[in-house]
A = this chain, B = another copy of it.
């Protein structure tokens, strides 16, 4: 049997597990060492460490302290990996915990992190998704059922001190340009809720005060939330410290391109079976700055899509210059309006775009002043036909079921 290098106990606080951490820092000690060619299993908490519950209230989504995320398992050292190498990671398989066959999706309150469409959905809402083998469906979002493209939202190697400093300076300077913005432009280091793995005492406190937050994707990969880093894919990570220091977490049962709902995809606790290897000097050999990867030979092969276009003119009619973010937002809003014609609430439609294997393509970025983005909605995930027809849309849902909403507390 394959060794499980890191175990997690979902009934225990993630802070009490010293093989877990929630900041990036080169001083976090390796919790295990493996050799190139080894395969092994790593268990992980969900990104919130179990804060969000399988129930019908969005209070937890509203009330969560986001400075605690993401709880990552690791870091794992790979013998012989040195700065400048590429760490080759095969994701051999990924699954949910056997006794935790569910995940959550939600929208944060605009006051607590928000999301891609936070101006349209400013209040905390939540949906729970049950897993049945390779498939998932939700009691809060009827009429859809799809195969998951399981992946870690977050995976990467430890930064070295110089890279860490670059990150912190870059982001802190950026926050300073609009420090009171809600939601914030970025998240600075924050010691009190830091979990620095096996670091203790002063060393812990020092690193906690410097540790980069795990929210953004960065040069090392990290929280890329790329739905296609799925089981069966192969990733080449830059190595910055001796041994690499590979950590991972934030597992998703499924996600649409963009992870637009932010909280998040279909978030779950689970395990990753992975294999590691080292490509010596690979960063310079191949001119690598960010990770590169190859997709899995096993993926849900949806083929029939309904595709929505969006351009970089915002909801108020204002022109933006080749802004793909805004163009994609328009495509998402267009898809939500369409789905509402079949009986979904806006929140349910938003949740579908955040969880199902939706594709988001950068279709045109040169035709001034408008970028064009497309959102690809797989039609096969629906229990009914959502294609346009001369008869017009049928309202398959009667509105009796919706996602729980928890208004902001005053």
8 Å CB contacts to B: which residues of A190-226?
215-219, 221, 223-226
A409 at the interface (CB under 8 A from B): no
B273 touches A363 (CB 8 A): no
- Which residue on B lies nearest to A184, using beta carbons? B368
- Binding stretch for chain B, among A18-26, A27-35, A241-249, A314-322: A314-322
Closest-CB distance, A82 to chain B (whole angstroms)? 15
8 Å CB contacts to B: which residues of A338-379?
338, 340-341, 359-374, 376
A287 touches B185 (CB 8 A): no
User: Which residues of the partner chain B approach A306 to less than 8 Å between Cβ atoms?
Assistant: 292-294
User: Which residues of the partner chain B approach A147 to less than 8 Å between Cβ atoms?
Assistant: 232, 296-298
User: Which residues of the partner chain B approach A215 to less than 8 Å between Cβ atoms?
Assistant: 367-368
- Which residue on B lies nearest to A313, using beta carbons? B170
A319 touches B173 (CB 8 A): yes
Q: How large is the interface on A (under 10, 10 to 19, 20 to 34, 35 or more residues)?
A: 35 or more
A63 at the interface (CB under 8 A from B): no
B171 touches A369 (CB 8 A): yes
Q: CA separation between A388 and B294, bound complex, in Å? A: 10
Contacts A372-B226, A393-B285 known; A362 to B258 CB distance under 8 Å?
yes
Taking Cβ atoms with an 8 Å cutoff, the residues of A that contact B are 1-2, 39, 86, 88, 91-93, 98-99, 101, 115-116, 132-135, 146-147, 166, 170-171, 173-174, 183-187, 215-219, 221, 223-228, 231-232, 236, 257-262, 264, 273, 275, 279-282, 285-311, 313, 317-319, 321-325, 328, 330-331, 334, 337-338, 340-341, 359-374, 376, 380, 387-390, 392-393
